[in-house]
């Protein structure tokens, strides 16, 4: 089902849902994150391995009650200031944390996609994390080995960005694939934003295809991964990640930026135009 | 930049690179480890295999990437795999020989903290968290730690133990080289111009000092040339 992004978000995401936006440095669904902010979604449990700038924005705008994650930083730059402010000072509201390792989250998504209640791995051994998160130990029935068990991730809504969909809503993504296939298959509902809608998908080496019948809604959002990148379409906007450090450091400057570029814009096209206008003015 | 014409970070990258062999399969994080591994590949170890946790195996970037998932890593990789496959088949499958870790704090056993400063439930500073570190620390036989030396970082007691030090083989700092001897990190070498006392003073526990501490060889001209060729406009961000 191909829908405008605002309709897809309205129809598929409810306040209080468990929502996972995935994309491991590549194809991060920023346009969809912005739409969650514009539609005023609240009390979400946000799930994401690497809650970078996209979740800094959602957390700072008060959309989240809880965060399930494994690494929360601005890649190559430093801290996520809105995430830190929420955890350290409860601003704009307290943020409950469920913290994992990457290996644990990956196993939990794969378990969710596989309709299993938990993922199993050799992990979480020795440190202080197990006392602070949902991990248990299980005994292998064959060898007697002790292994770590993490509860499957089964989001209400999984959200990813891809390069292409066809007119029937079949989706293809390629390049670094992250956990995008797993999150769509683990979720009860899903939204996929795409760079382009083509007549026919041409299969790519190393590509992943999501047939239309496992995807809830497809929405066209060219440049919808900015400031991350879409392999074959545009590169990562490294300068934006560096600039975000200063924008996000101050509560007032953050709010003003979000109002100007997200709340006061209607869609990804207007968002990009407002950023371009700012660069021209400067 | 010191009076010898290279920076402390460059000394760290060179010393870490020298420990990678041709053919070493190396799990690389962003920043100094990425610089070190790419330097090794461009100098004495062209067959060093760079694996980034984003799923790129055998990446050969021409410049230093800003993130572990930059497009150039995928374009130059021998294979690109999903994140669940990376952690299950390749890391847990013990296909990786060397893993690099950094942290905010380290203790005398090589245990690391990259999670919080202060109490977990009410931290003074919330750090990014473990990411790949907890399982890199236990699934890779040779863990190399890169960390700038200070009493804030080298602490008697971690605020939080993110990963365990059992497999730490070396700690490369901006002052010195530490290696585990009888389960405790021990000073084995100092960089040119650094005194043993400087390192002891920058360590928050009573640092064990090996007999016959030697001096690290300074970076060669070739090493510095290769290193500087890798640095990009984005690379200042790894400071």
Count up the domains in chain A and report the number.
1
Interatomic CA distance for residues B166 and B148, integer angstroms? 21
Report the percent of chain B where pLDDT is more than 70.
95
Give the mean pLDDT of B181-205: 97
Instruction: Give ipTM to 2 decimals.
Output: 0.96
- Neighbouring-strand partners of residue B176: B190
Average pLDDT for chain B: 93
Instruction: Report chain B's C-alpha Rg in angstroms.
Output: 17
Are A76 and B84 a contacting pair at CB < 8 A? no
- Per-residue pLDDT of B90-108, as tens digits, reads 999 999 999 999 999 999 9
Residue A112: inside a domain: no
Q: Which one, of A201, A219, A216, A199, lies nearest residue A269 by Cα?
A: A219
Are A176 and B162 a contacting pair at CB < 8 A? no
- By residue range, what is the domain housing residue A234? 5-100+154-281
Residue B151: inside a domain: yes
Can you tell me whether residue A256 is helix, strand or coil?
helix
Residue A134: inside a domain: no
Count up the domains in chain B and report the number.
1
Residue B3: inside a domain: no
Q: Which one, of A106, A219, A231, lies nearest residue A163 by Cα?
A: A231
Chain A closest-CA separation from residue B166 CA (Å): 10
Are B129 and A70 a contacting pair at CB < 8 A? yes
Helices (H), chain A: 5-12, 30-38, 53-60, 81-89, 102-113, 180-186, 238-249, 251-258, 268-281
Residue B1: inside a domain: no
Interatomic CA distance for residues A196 and A178, integer angstroms? 20
Phi, psi of A220 (to 5 degrees): -75, 125
Chain A closest-CA separation from residue B138 CA (Å): 8
Residue B216: inside a domain: yes
Sign of CA dihedral A3, A176, A229, B69: positive
Cα–Cα distance list, A239 to A233, A235, A244, A246, B234 (Å): 18, 11, 9, 12, 8
Q: Are A200 and A167 in contact (CB under 8 A)?
A: no
Residues 6+ apart with CB under 8 A from A187: A20, A112, A154, A155, A156, A157, A158
Length of chain A, please? 282
Residue A44: inside a domain: yes
**Helix A251-258, helix A81-89: angle, nearest 10:** 130
Helices (H), B155-230: 196-201, 221-230
Residue A207: inside a domain: yes
Residue B50's domain is classified under what CATH number? 3.40.1080.10
**Given a cut of 80, is residue A280 above it in pLDDT?**
no
- Per-residue pLDDT of A106-123, as tens digits, reads 999 999 999 999 999 999
Element (H, E) at B35: helix B32-42
Residues of chain A found within 8 Å of residue B123, distances taken between Cβ atoms: 87-88
Residue B48: inside a domain: yes
- Per-residue pLDDT of B6-49, as tens digits, reads 999 999 999 999 999 999 999 998 789 999 999 999 999 999 99
Are B87 and A24 a contacting pair at CB < 8 A? no
Which residues of B have a catalytic role annotated?
A: 53
- Per-residue pLDDT of B127-146, as tens digits, reads 999 999 999 999 999 999 99
- By residue range, what is the domain housing residue B113? 8-238
Residues of chain A found within 8 Å of residue B125, distances taken between Cβ atoms: 84, 88
Residue A208's domain is classified under what CATH number? 3.40.1080.10
Residue A50: inside a domain: yes
DSSP B46: T
Residue A144: inside a domain: no
Can you tell me whether residue A254 is helix, strand or coil?
helix
Q: Are B38 and A8 in contact (CB under 8 A)?
A: no
Report the percent of chain B where pLDDT is more than 90.
85
Residue A138: inside a domain: no
How far separated are the first and last CA of chain B, in Å rounded? 14
Q: Are A43 and A244 in contact (CB under 8 A)?
A: no
Interatomic CA distance for residues A101 and A133, integer angstroms? 10
């Amino acid at each position: 089902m191909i829908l405008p992004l605002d309709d897809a978000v309205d129809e598929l995401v409810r306040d209080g849902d468990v929502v996972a936006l995935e994309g491991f440095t590549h194809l991060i669904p920023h346009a969809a994150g912005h739409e969650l902010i514009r539609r005023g979604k609240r009390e979400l449990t946000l799930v994401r391995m690497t809650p970078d700038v996209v979740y800094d924005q959602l957390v700072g705008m008060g959309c989240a009650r809880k965060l399930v994650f494994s690494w929360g930083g601005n890649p190559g730059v430093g801290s996520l200031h809105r995430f830190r402010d929420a955890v350290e000072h409860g601003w704009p509201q307290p943020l409950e944390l469920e913290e994992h390792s990457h290996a644990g989250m990956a196993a939990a998504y794969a378990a969710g996609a596989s309709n299993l209640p938990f993922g199993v791995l050799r992990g979480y051994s020795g440190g202080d994390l197990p006392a602070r998160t949902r991990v248990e130990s299980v005994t292998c029935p064959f060898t007697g080995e002790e292994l770590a068990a993490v509860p499957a991730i089964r989001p209400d809504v999984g959200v990813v960005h891809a390069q292409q969909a066809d007119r029937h809503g079949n989706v293809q993504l390629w390049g670094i694939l992250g956990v995008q296939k797993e999150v769509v298959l683990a979720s009860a509902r899903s939204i996929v934003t795409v760079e382009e809608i083509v007549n026919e998908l041409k299969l790519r080496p190393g590509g992943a295809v999501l047939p239309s019948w496992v995807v809830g809604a497809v929405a066209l959002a060219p440049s919808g991964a900015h400031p991350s990148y879409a392999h074959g379409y545009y590169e990562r906007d490294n300068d934006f990640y560096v600039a975000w450090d200063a924008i996000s450091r101050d509560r007032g400057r953050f709010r003003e930026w979000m109002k100007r570029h997200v709340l006061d814009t209607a869609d990804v096209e207007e968002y990009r135009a407002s950023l371009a206008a700012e660069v021209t003015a400067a | 930049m010191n009076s010898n014409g290279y920076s402390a970070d460059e000394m760290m990258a060179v010393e870490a690179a020298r420990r990678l062999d041709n053919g070493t399969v190396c799990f690389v994080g962003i920043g100094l480890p990425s610089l070190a591994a790419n330097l090794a590949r461009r100098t004495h170890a062209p067959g060093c295999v760079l694996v980034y946790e984003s799923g790129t195996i055998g990446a050969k970037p021409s410049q230093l990437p800003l993130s572990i998932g930059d497009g150039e890593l995928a374009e130059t990789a021998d294979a690109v795999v999903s994140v669940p496959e990376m952690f299950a088949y390749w890391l847990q499958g013990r296909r990786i020989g060397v893993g690099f870790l950094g942290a905010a704090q380290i203790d005398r056993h090589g245990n690391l903290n990259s999670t919080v400063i202060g109490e977990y439930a009410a931290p003074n500073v919330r750090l990014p968290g473990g990411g790949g570190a907890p399982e890199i620390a236990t699934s890779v036989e040779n863990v190399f730690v890169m960390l700038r030396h200070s009493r804030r970082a080298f602490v008697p007691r971690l605020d939080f133990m993110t990963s365990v030090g059992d497999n730490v083989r070396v700690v490369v700092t901006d002052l010195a080289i530490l290696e585990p001897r009888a389960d405790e990190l021990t000073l084995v070498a100092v960089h040119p111009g650094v005194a043993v006392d400087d390192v002891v003073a920058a360590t928050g526990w009573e640092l064990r000092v090996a007999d016959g501490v030697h001096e690290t060889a300074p970076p060669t001209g070739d090493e510095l040339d290769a290193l500087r060729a890798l640095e990009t406009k984005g690379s200042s961000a790894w400071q």
